[in-house]
Structure 1
Amino acid sequence: MSSTSETRLRHSAPSVTEAAIETGHRVVDTVKKVSHTLHWDELPEWSKDNEYILTGYRRLQYSFSGCLHSVFAYLHNESVNIHSHLWAAVLFLGFLVTANDHHIAQYPTAMWLDRAAFAVFLVMAVFCLLCSATFHAVACHSQEIARQYNALDYAGIISLIVGSFYPAVYYGFFCQPTYQVFYLGGITLAGIGAAVIVLAPRYATPAYRPIRTAVFVGLGGFGVIPLSHMVLSHGFTAACEEMGLAWVIYSMGFYLVGALIYANRFPERLAPGKFDLFFASHQIFHVHVVLAALSHYVGVLKAFHHWHGALNGTCVP
């Protein structure tokens, strides 16, 4: 090989290396650009909600198709929130469709009021869970869409809380229609009041999370009044049979614990960045909501079968 060729090779080697390095940098930059998720520091201010969740945020999509794609195509920090309530909604829709054949139709004493009590609770459960799943799915659309669907999410929570009271009060005061009307009217008005507060635009910001949580807890706490009335007038054992009280208490416990975990951002506040994709407080809250709704439905079934099975749909003096 001539000295001229050797010289050319020596000069070309660094150029090839530099070109490879430059290509590598371009690849890395391209990957960063097409990455589906962002870090907390890359988020627009309006979308920052939990400073202890550092990664896994979706890019703004500005389209519902992009939001839908994010639900099934890749993992992000809303994946668990979406799917936990999406599939729970499907489950409760199944309960709604099968309640009549599996339970209500078993007893000739069952009336339209029984069907209404079941329907109100199950429809509100499906509505709440779908609102929640939808909000978390489209929260990456844009600021305005996120705001609108966040309000829908709050409306769903209120609807489920209010709807849960209907079968409990109906069966708890099965033979006392005056109390049924009184307590159901009261919880309905309280639900409207709660909606006025939490749906106000000023309360939709992260700074008002404790107030929103307090309103939801207070609305759920309204149930202590008819429950206490039931226990004092009928006794705890009778209330467990006639109202499914034990399961109602379990349900309220799940709601309360879940709300407190959510409000205090536990456990991610103890280890920021470690619970970005799984086991964050909002995800735990979602699971508690599902467990609470399931517990409540068990209580409804227990009360229904008591009145129409053991008591044959009659009021015993």
Structure 2
Amino acid sequence: MSTSFSEGVVILSRRSSKRKTKSSSSLSSSSSDHHQAEMDMKKLHDHGHSHGHDKSKSNNNNNNKSKRRALVSFWELPEYMKDNEFIHNYYRANWSIKEALFSVFRWHNETLNVWTHLLGFVLFLGLSMANFIQIPQIADLISLITRSFPISSYANVSHNSEDFIPQGTTNLIDLKQINTSSEMDIAPPLTPVTRWPFFVFLAGSMFCLLSSSICHLFSCHSHNLNIKLLRIDYAGITIMIITSFFPPIYYIFQCDSHWQFVYLGGITAMGIFTIVTLLSPSLSTAKFRTFRALLFCSMGFFGIVPAVHGSFVNWDNPKRDVTLAYEAAMAVFYLSGTGFYVTRVPERWRPGWFDLAGHSHQIFHVLVVLGALAHYGATLVFLEWRDSVGCLNINV
């Protein structure tokens, strides 16, 4: 009986131990499941937080990108871009090269500044090509290239017809060609004057117009690029002024190289001094706007001396009044443009009204192109006159 009692106790203790073990296992399993659930919730929270952070970061990048591409006001500009306080809005600032390039098709306060000189460049490029083709040597070369590609049927007929032409007829044709060539030898040859001073002027004008367009298009990129492009722009203006002197001085004083050297050497020296002076970063700022204009005007006023001298030299020239009218128009256009550039009229009178169109720099650009076209017309008259007269009856 004692044995049975002890066995019963053992069995009960074993059952109790199993229940405790099972309960402990159940508690352990429940604790493990709870811990796993907490870990899963934490992962989901962290993932959601990370996703939200990435989304917020992406939104911030998009906002910054759109902000970079947005047009800003004068007061939001960096200091180096604050040039005209009378133009209040539609500025570009700190744009990438790509964004600045494609802004040529977008409205901002530099759009017309870019296009006025860009179209002027295309116009002068077309004029240069048209005059280049008219050079006798180039025209002969084009004619030679054209004749080297005859129509096949015409070539075959011409080639085969030689077998059917009598010998006597061939001799007659040869005599006719000989007579024609002898008559051509008797006629006075045409010796047009050299064209290189004319093309120097066209090249200088194209360089000025293109450099100005590039400057206005890309100067919004950075401070460093802004300074470099402004220097190139001022150099382009100077080069255009220098090269404008070459056609009239060369053709008026063609029969006296002494005066050619004096006047062309003088304006070239003044131009080099102007370019070197304007290479200084401090002189590229808005503070020295009037000083830069005076440098350009001094180069223009230098032309008064050879203009008066050339008028006396060619007093009997029937085309004198025409050339003087063209050159006077050029002077009026250039000086008027410089006046708008310095005084900043009309935006000075109505600040903010001419931000997109009609402000002084745009007017200045248009007048520069008109002045260059007036000088182009005068140069054509010089060329026509010198081709027909040469150095006959010229008293220098």
Q: Which moved more, 1:96-105 or 1:132-141?
A: 96-105
Q: Is the 8 A contact 1:230 1:239 kept in 2?
A: no
Partner of 2:304: 224
| Deviation, structure 1 residue 240 | 4.9
Partner of 2:347: 268
The one-letter amino acid paired with 1:207 is: K
| Deviation, structure 1 residue 242 | 9.1
Note the 1:79-94 alignment, pairs <5 A.
79-94=111-126
* CA–CA distance in structure 2, aligned partners of residues 49 and 283 of structure 1: 15
Structure showing greater Rg:
2
Select the residue among 109, 121, 131 that pairs with 2:201. Answer: 121
Select the residue among 72, 97, 100 that pairs with 2:129. Answer: 97
Select the residue among 50, 67, 78 that pairs with 2:100. Answer: 67
Distance 1:188 1:104, change over 3 A: farther
Secondary structure of the corresponding residue to residue 94 of structure 2: coil
Instruction: For residues 181-206 of structure 1, give each alpha carbon's deviation from its aligned partner in whole angstroms, at most 9, with x where no partner exists.
Output: 11111111111111122222120110
Is residue 2:72 matched to residue 1:38? yes
Partner of 1:76: 108
Q: Is the 8 A contact 1:171 1:304 kept in 2?
A: yes
Note the 1:1-317 alignment, pairs <5 A.
33=67, 36-61=70-95, 63-72=96-105, 74-102=106-134, 108-111=190-193, 114-235=194-315, 238=317, 240-241=319-320, 244-309=323-388, 311=389, 313-317=390-394
Q: Which moved more, 1:151-160 or 1:32-41?
A: 32-41
Q: Which moved more, 1:174-183 or 1:242-251?
A: 242-251
Instruction: For residues 1-53 of structure 1, give each alpha carbon's deviation from its aligned partner in whole angstroms, at most 9, with x where no partner exists.
Output: xxxxxxxxxxxxxxxxxxxxxxxxx9xxx698476311111111110000000
Distance 1:104 1:221, change over 3 A: farther
| Deviation, structure 1 residue 239 | 8.4
Q: Is the 8 A contact 1:162 1:187 kept in 2?
A: yes
Distance 1:261 1:89, change over 3 A: same
* CA–CA distance in structure 2, aligned partners of residues 244 and 103 of structure 1: 22
**Taking every aligned residue pair, what percent have the same amino acid on both sides?**
39
* CA–CA distance in structure 1, aligned partners of residues 307 and 238 of structure 2: 19
Q: Is the 8 A contact 2:311 2:320 kept in 1?
A: no
Secondary structure of the corresponding residue to residue 58 of structure 1: coil
* CA–CA distance in structure 1, aligned partners of residues 198 and 313 of structure 2: 25
Q: TM-score, normalised by structure 1?
A: 0.83
* CA–CA distance in structure 2, aligned partners of residues 199 and 33 of structure 1: 33
Q: Is the 8 A contact 1:96 1:122 kept in 2?
A: yes
Distance 1:39 1:218, change over 3 A: same
Partner of 1:20: none
Q: Is the 8 A contact 2:314 2:320 kept in 1?
A: no
Unaligned runs of 5+ in 1: 1-25
Give the length in aligned residue pairs.
283
| Deviation, structure 1 residue 245 | 2.7
Q: Is the 8 A contact 1:198 1:215 kept in 2?
A: no
* CA–CA distance in structure 1, aligned partners of residues 306 and 247 of structure 2: 12
* CA–CA distance in structure 2, aligned partners of residues 75 and 104 of structure 1: 45
* CA–CA distance in structure 2, aligned partners of residues 195 and 178 of structure 1: 26
Unaligned runs of 5+ in 2: 1-58, 140-188
